[in-house]
Structure 1
Amino acid sequence: MSKIGYNIKKLRNVKNLSQQAFADLFNLTRGNISSYEELRAEPKLEIIIKIANYFSVPLEHLLTKQLSVNEILNFNDYFNEEGAKKIQKNFANIPFICREAIHHIKDGTFDVQKLDIITFPMYSSNKFIALELTQEIPMPTSINIQEHTIVFFEQVQIDNLHTLNNHFGLFLTNDDIFIGTYFQNSTAIELKLNEWKSEHFSQENLQSFWKLYAKFEKKL
């Protein structure tokens, strides 16, 4: 059996497309997409070719292997062969929060251990997490980062608390996610989304706080 059903679902999640939105791209129905993803049917060859061309994915890969996040985002195109060899040893496997994961957070069933992986050169041994900015993630209106940019967050450590003030950060738990701005005074550190929502930092919830580390705007 081909990998087309698995890859259609992964393409949707990484590209933040609902089943209906994906179906509309290829003049299909939501029921068609559901049947492909549940392995009850496979699309016709002409549809498979259209999908491969639209997402710039090799036809053979779409049919015979499970696509990686890097392939779907065309990340490997950003590193020429010589440059990739030089930094290969610094590539890290980073959990990637996609559309499906955001939905799991909203319904309280999120599990970071089940996230897809994106590989990217990192020069730190700290923990990182990545996501694509979409309207589904609450964030301040002041954040000057284009939608669909891939952003990387570094988990906050006790020894870098002094670097947080006025920086963007991520709050992530099994049932909540938002991007906010860190504010720090002599007694407290707060990650603030807006006037109505914020989270106060403590050692007990240290693992829920992340600091913006890097952003990567994709080619359109």
Structure 2
Amino acid sequence: MSQIGNNIKKLRSVKGLSQQAFADLFGLTRGNISSYEERRAEPKIEIMLQIAKYFSIPIAELLQKQLTVNEILNFEDYFPAEPLTVMTGGLAKIPFLDREYFRQYDASERATEKMPLIHFPLDSNNKFLAVENSSFVPHPVGFSFEEHMVLFFEQVTVDILHTLGDHFGYFDGDTPFFGRFALDGNEIALVLNDWKKELYSAEMAPHFWKLFGKFERVL
């Protein structure tokens, strides 16, 4: 039995997408997505291929396996364990902040054009940032990512504000930290703990990033 409907629903949940937002990504209607999730219909093969490519998931697993949250967020099962900086055509060029960057952190030197790049298969027009998880970056309770894991973040834009609630994020201002987004009425904040948070505003918008996925090399 095909698992495409279950996996579409799980993908939406993990990525914080409404049925309409998911439909918009692939030129579909909210009704299409509802019918897939309720197993009243299945997408055409070209749509399945678009979904697999967009979320970087092998088509066979998208169709045949009930994907877990960890599998959706975890890139290592889907890409070869080659050096991250290998130059390969068709890959997104993503600024990379490693532990040495934070060891010698200087807020005046954080312009992304000066950073080394990771070349990685992400099919999106949005801006991304790759950050090596390390003890140099403060993180909130429940931030269960291993040291040296590379976390991929999508820059927060107006069209994804509604997806932020309770998702992990990264703030790259004068004092960078990992946090969890909290929505309270019209106020959006990235929260580190009871004493430290940053409020989202149009002026500060470029400094807010939402967790998109992770890369963990398995040796």
Find the residue that maps to 2:162 and give its secondary structure. Answer: helix
- Aligned mates of 1:180, 1:116 — CA distance in 2: 24
Question: 1:183, 1:191 within 8 Å by CA — same for their partners in 2?
Answer: yes
> Could you say if the C-alpha distance between residues 105 and 111 of structure 1 is closer, same or farther in structure 2, counting changes exceeding 3 Å?
farther
Q: Residue in 2 aligned with 1:15?
A: none
Which residue type is aligned with residue 113 of structure 1?
E
Per-residue deviation at 1:107? Answer: 5.8
Residues 152 and 214 in structure 2, CA contact (< 8 A), matched pair in contact too: yes
**TM-score, length basis structure 1:** 0.57
| Residues 149 and 215, structure 2, Cα contact 8 Å, conserved in 1 | yes
Letter in 2 for 1:146: E
SS of 1:144's equivalent? coil
Which segments of 5 or more consecutive residues in structure 2 lack a partner in the other structure? 1-78, 83-87
- More helix as a share of residues: 1
Determine the structure 1 residue equivalent to 2:150: 150
Report what 2:191 is aligned to.
192
Q: 2:162 — aligned with what?
A: 162
**After the TM superposition, which residues 174-213 of structure 1 pair with which residues of structure 2 at under 5 Å, given as runs?**
175-213=174-212
Length-normalised TM-score, structure 2: 0.58
For residues 137-194 of structure 1, the C-alpha deviation after alignment (integer angstroms, 9 at most, x for no partner) is: 1111311211111110000010110000000000002x32100000002120010001
State the AA in 2 paired with 1:149.
M
CA shift, 1:111, in A, is 2.9
Matching residue of 2:128: 128
Query: Runs ≥4 in structure 1, deviation > 4 angstroms?
Result: none
The Cα of 1:101 is off from its aligned counterpart by 2.2
RCO higher in structure (CA 8 A, sep ≥6): 2
Per-residue deviation, 1:96:
0.3
Q: Would you say the 8 A contact 1:95–1:112 is kept in 2?
A: yes
- In structure 1, the gaps of 5 or more residues are 1-75, 80-86
Tell me, in whole angstroms, the C-alpha distance in 1 between the residues paired with 2:136 and 2:104: 12
Q: Secondary structure at the match of 2:204?
A: helix
The 3-state SS of whatever aligns with 1:105 is coil
